[in-house]
Amino acid sequence: MDTGETVPDVTEVAGKLRVSVGLVVRKLKQAPGAGELTLAESSALGRLERGGPATSSDLARVERISPQSMGVTVATLLERGLIARSRDPEDGRRIVLSITEEGRRTVHDRRGARTELIAAALRDGFSDAELGQFLAITPLLERLAEKL
């Protein structure tokens, strides 16, 4: 049964999303951030803030990087006092990492600065209807990110 609507080409949608999201990400990366964390450091710190304590191996697996790379990231975050390590209460042989109050402040400062940067851009020339469209697509973008 033909409804008269054209079905979007998945490859075309994927290409347009890649380009547009890529532009947004590059712009956000170029903006100076509080604490000047690398992308890997920021991502690991954010995961600990959102998900709670984890091992370095767990973080490496979730971030899809080698344990050695995560080790470098963890060492830097420990040195800066943004995370702390302790023995796993369930298995004393394992070391778990958790975010410190300083780490939590750093995450919130970075998020706040990036959020305000986006908010300023949205205030400048986007209609209420367009803001509604942005809001409506955010769950779809989150689902897409989870599937990648």
Residue 90 inside a domain? The answer is yes
Residue 101 inside a domain? The answer is yes
Q: Comparing C-alpha atoms, which of 13, 24, 18 is closest to residue 122?
A: 24
What percentage of the chain has pLDDT greater than the value 70?
A: 94
Any residues with CB less than 8 A from the CB of 40 and at least 6 apart, and which? 63, 65, 69, 70, 73
More reliable by pLDDT, 31 or 35: 31
Residue 80 inside a domain? The answer is yes
Q: Comparing C-alpha atoms, which of 31, 11, 84, 21 is closest to residue 54?
A: 84
- CA of 76: how far to CAs of 44, 45, 54, 70, in Å? 11, 11, 16, 10
Work out the pLDDT band at 5, boundaries 50, 70, 90.
Answer: confident
Q: How far apart are CA 5 and CA 8, in angstroms?
A: 9
Residue 113 inside a domain? The answer is yes
Residue 4 inside a domain? The answer is no
pTM over 0.75: no
Task: Specify burial of residue 95 (Cβ count, 10 A radius: 0-12, 13-18, 19+).
Answer: middle
- Structurally, how many domains does the chain consist of? 1
Tokens of 76: 């830097």
Residue 70 inside a domain? The answer is yes
Residue 29 inside a domain? The answer is no
Domain of 131 in residue numbering reads as: 37-147
**CATH code: domain of residue 43:** 1.10.10.10
107-125 per-position pLDDT tens digit: 888 777 788 888 999 999 8
Over the chain, what is the mean pLDDT?
Answer: 88
Any residues with CB less than 8 A from the CB of 104 and at least 6 apart, and which? 49
